[in-house]
Amino acid sequence: QWAGPGTTHNLESIVIGRCYSYIRVVNPSVGEKNCLQIWEAFQLAFVNKDPCSVLPSDYELYINLTLHKIPPNKSLFWENNKLLVHRYADKAQRFVPLGDSLMGWIADDLDWCGQTNYPGVDYISCPTTSECENNAKESFWRIASVTYAKISSGIIYIMLNGSSPGGAFPNESFFADYELPNFQSAQVSRFEIWVNDEIEGPDLDSCGTGSLKSLGSLLDSRGYTHSCTDNYR
Ligand code: ENP
């Protein structure tokens, strides 16, 4: 029925397992969390519901239960370079991008959506954002992005892809729409932008030109100091 992949099988086991794995092995510094309650809060947002009627606020309990501090200077935002960012971040060892925080770690690469009929979850297909905006995944990442930006502090790092055909900084992006408006200016010292081209890839965009100019202006208009480095090693 829908264009997106259906719910990942064994979702409950994966969510609960990832939660325990995160708090016990990956990043025990976040302290004790109730993984069963976290699963209950997660499924509460979408199970047995119309897959196009899930709002970001439906995940509020999940966000509150998974929340932990992100150390200053450890936040890393990105666009179109997921693999590089997460290899570099090294499971929260070097940086803590949203996908390496508990709320993002649990959901990363999973698919999920509900349906009103039995069994309450659609394992066949899920709506994409072009089919309906208020879908289970989109709403999840929206509230997660807003929350992550709000709790980020110190130097804020942004890693972008200089070989991206649409420009390193797409003007419609989670960063522009949900993160940039939600930084707490009093706790942010400055922005450090890295523009990395793909290995052997084209150099389509770089610091100070094209889409990076727009990002610079957006940061200026909000009064933030920023610097940019091309192909930071
Ligand atoms: P894409 O399209 O390159 O990659 C999206 C994939 O990364 C999906 O598999 C998604 O898991 C997972 N993911 C991890 N963090 C996020 C996320 N944070 N997000 C959406 N998906 C995420 O990434 P996008 O869509 O451009 O998003 C990058 C954004 O993440 C940046 O704004 C960055 O600063 C932010 P799943 O379960 O959906 O398959 C926010 C939105 O941290």
Tokens of 225: 């100091």
Note whether 189 and 206 are within 8 A (CB): no
Nearest atom in ligand 1 to 112's CA: 37
Per-residue pLDDT tens digits for 138-169:
999 999 999 999 999 999 999 999 999 989 99
Specify the residue for token string 């995940």: 59
Ligand 1 center from residue 149 Cα (angstroms): 14
Predicted confidence (pLDDT) per residue in 61-118, tens digit: 999 999 999 999 999 999 999 999 999 999 999 999 999 999 999 999 999 999 999 9
pLDDT tier, 233 (very low <50, low <70, confident <90, very high otherwise): confident
Cα 223 to averaged position of ligand 1 atoms, centre (Å) = 26
98 lines ligand 1 (CB under 6 A): yes
The per-residue pLDDT for range 19-60, each reduced to its tens digit, is 999 999 999 999 999 999 999 999 999 999 999 999 999 999
104 lines ligand 1 (CB under 6 A): yes
Amino acid at 217: S
- Please state the atom number of ligand 1 nearest to the C-alpha of residue 98: 42
How many Cα atoms sit within 13 Å of 5 on the Cβ side? 7
The pTM (predicted TM-score) of the whole model is: 0.96
